[in-house]
A and B are shown apart, each in its own frame.
Chain A
Amino acid sequence: MGKGGKSDGSNVEEENMAAWLVAINTLKIQPFNLPPLGPHDVKVRMKAVGICGSDVHYLKTLRCADFIVKEPMVIGHECAGVIEEVGSEVKDLVAGDRVALEPGISCWRCTHCKQGRYNLCPDMKFFATPPVHGSLANQVVHPADLCFKLPDNVSLEEGAMCEPLSVGVHACRRADIGPETNVLVMGAGPIGLVTMLAARAFGAPRIVIVDVEDSRLSVAKELAADEIIKVSTNIQDVDEEVGLIQKAMGGGVDVSFDCAGFNKTMTTALTATRPGGKVCLVGMGHHEMTVPLTPAAAREVDVVGIFRYKNTWPLCLEFLRSGKIDVKPLITHRFGFSQKEVEEAFETSARGGNAIKVMFNL
């Protein structure tokens, strides 16, 4: 029940519904009681929510790394919507504003937060990372400072895409992408693709992208990869593939993004990257890896880690507003917010293949 939920003068008391993860492979649309609106909060009516690989992982296993779903939890975190109500201290937003939401609420008191690396805050409360409820719901309550107004020419779906795009933007910042960095992207799934789009926006002069699947590579080509290379899952093929990659790049690989995170991809990245270059590990395939780290370190190839993002929404929205980045082609499937469609949507996303971003329209 949305407490005192006022929307534009009408007194309709609508029960707030959300998609709850109640057991393995079991999502149920059920009521979701929102907390009261704090002075610095806003209440947002959700309009667009994308499904992330981590949402699918929670659905299938009830866990992701050390985060375990111990009680029913609302799923979803890539979202945008319309403000329905603002808290008493909120000055910059009003009801009716279209906003994209940054999912994670950090503590703002620890050293990580105070140094600006709030993505590493140990007390982070993040949509759909247990035990914090997610945002695949009619409405959520969220701090106003984590809601970013969409420019007029940026749609709500694009607003929801800011979340995955943020991962790519954060990775490009940490890896220091610019007009001189030739970029290799391993993996042409949603994360590889947003990383590619971000790299281009940061000025990367040449981008080569690899994947095991033809359909994903052709999407990458359409999204303006300079070259696409089909690779295998076979570790014996590394040397041959490194040869192909370096040939396709022409001038040395300055930065590699491993957006898959497997032994094979990391080994290829470490081997293909030039001395003094960087390998940015974005994907989280295998917890432990067996890789030729020493030969890479002995060429001063550094490994840069990525965890989510920080301070990326304003830049993402600017890229979308100016058209420097177009995320719309990544949205391949759309579903409405009903029990049946929620189930179908997750099935589609889990299948992968030609499904890149599956989006809910609420």
Chain B
Amino acid sequence: MMHTEENEQVEETNMAAWLLGIKNLQIQPYHLPPLGPNDVKVQIKALGICGSDVHHFKNMRVANFIVKKPMVIGHECAGIIKAIGSNVKSLAVGDRVALEPGISCQTCNFCKNGTYNLCRKMKFFGSPPTNGSLANQVVHPANLVFKLPDNVSLEEGAMCEPLSVGVHACRRADVNPDTKVLIFGAGPIGLVTMLAARAFGAPRIVIADVDHYRLSIAKDLGADDTVQVSTNIQDVGEEVLKIHKVMGESVDISFDCVGFDKTMSTALTATRAGGKVCLVGLGQSQMTIPLVAAAAREVDVIGIFRYRNTWPLCIELLRTGKIDVKPLITHRYKFTQEDVDKAFETSAKGGNAIKVMFNL
């Protein structure tokens, strides 16, 4: 495939990591669509693996999204612009950019009302049937590509995607200097939510997890306090008491970044009357929870799906140093068949792997 780059006419086959079947990723050629007038072509330089990528890898599906044909994996990415469409004014070849993965239709009511993350026609990198971005290059709308400040690296640019989930959750839950925050789960999502909550001014943040090691990472990253909890539903009452003691005062907002009966039950019970529980994690579909008891204290449950209008804020928070995501990147791999296999294995294992990052 021929494409022109700045001053060069190099014919290079674009390669990508294709999901061909369960636990079967192969680096193969990836033909890009032509560059539209409002598009840019980006050379991908940094790409993180998300839990959903691993889930697709293991199951060939996530919820109602089923991988029916080979699909390029990956969506948390940043890179360098190689070509710009004829209408693109605000970006130039050579610009370092972070990419927002999802292309919404921009004509439905959800889009026009600003809640474009709920667009039913969303085309999202790595969500079947839309190809992802673990590739040498992708073509993407210019309005979804955000220039990185000089002091923000390409890896940090790729981290804008998971960070966006935390930022969107903090907005929807209205985190501010008055809200004491409790977070369930010290995995990547719990941690970005914690970093975002701090940036939004939360005066006190307590984080809970079953894993002692993850809690120590959270403490290093600035949690005011941590609570080790169990997976046993019988322990809810006792854990709520522990949480209240550790928080010192009431819990205004809880973020369940795990999404199980146990974590949701604890969150609903621990949060003060009139407070909010934000369900970020997508653990189990059906939940058995004390919902009436919570609703009768006007504890509201806020749902989160991806994010909207978060890249500018994420980039600014990274630029000023209000948020430092670099410690979350624990493992790095190159874009080779062997490394792709190893990277997914590492990410799937969890444990001390928080964010696994490709450098292309």
Contact = CB atoms under 8 A, between A and B. Distances in A.
Interface of A: 65, 112, 117, 119-120, 122, 174, 261, 266, 275-276, 281, 284-307
A171 to B, nearest CB: 11
B288 interface: yes
Given A281-B292, A297-B279, A302-B303, 17 more contacts: A65-B296, A119-B298, A174-B298, A261-B292, A276-B110, A276-B115, A284-B296, A288-B290, A288-B292, A289-B288, A290-B286, A290-B288, A293-B264, A293-B301, A298-B303, A300-B303, A300-B304
Given A120-B297, A284-B296, A306-B295, A296 B303 contact: yes
B2 interface: no
A307 B287 contact: no
Contact of A302 (B283, B289, B298, B300): B300
A36 to B, nearest CB: 32
A117 B298 contact: yes
A184 B289 CA distance: 23
A300 B118 contact: yes
B223 to A, nearest CB: 24
A179 B305 CA distance: 26
Interface in B56-107: 63
B259 interface: yes
A295 B288 contact: no
A286 B301 CA distance: 17
B161 to A, nearest CB: 17
Interface secondary structure of A, over-half rule: mixed
A225 B216 CA distance: 56
A180 to B, nearest CB: 10
B201 interface: no
A112 B304 contact: no
Contacts of B293: 65, 287-288
B274 interface: yes
Which of B110, B274, B298 is the most central at the interface, judged by chain A CB atoms within 10 Å of its CB? B298
B284 interface: yes
Contact of B292 (A287, A293, A294, A301): A287
Interface string B247-269: 00000000000010000100000
Nearest to A305: B295
A304 B300 contact: yes
Contacts of B284: 294
A307 B292 contact: no
B10 interface: no
Contacts of B259: 294
Contacts of A284: 292, 295-296
B299 interface: yes
A307 B293 CA distance: 10
Contacts of B117: 300
Contact of B285 (A112, A119, A288, A292): A292
B291 A298 contact: no
10 contacts: A112-B273, A281-B295, A284-B292, A285-B292, A289-B292, A290-B286, A302-B303, A303-B291, A303-B301, A306-B295
Contacts of B313: none
B229 interface: no
A288 B291 contact: yes
Given A275-B110, A276-B118, A298 B63 contact: yes
A198 B259 CA distance: 35
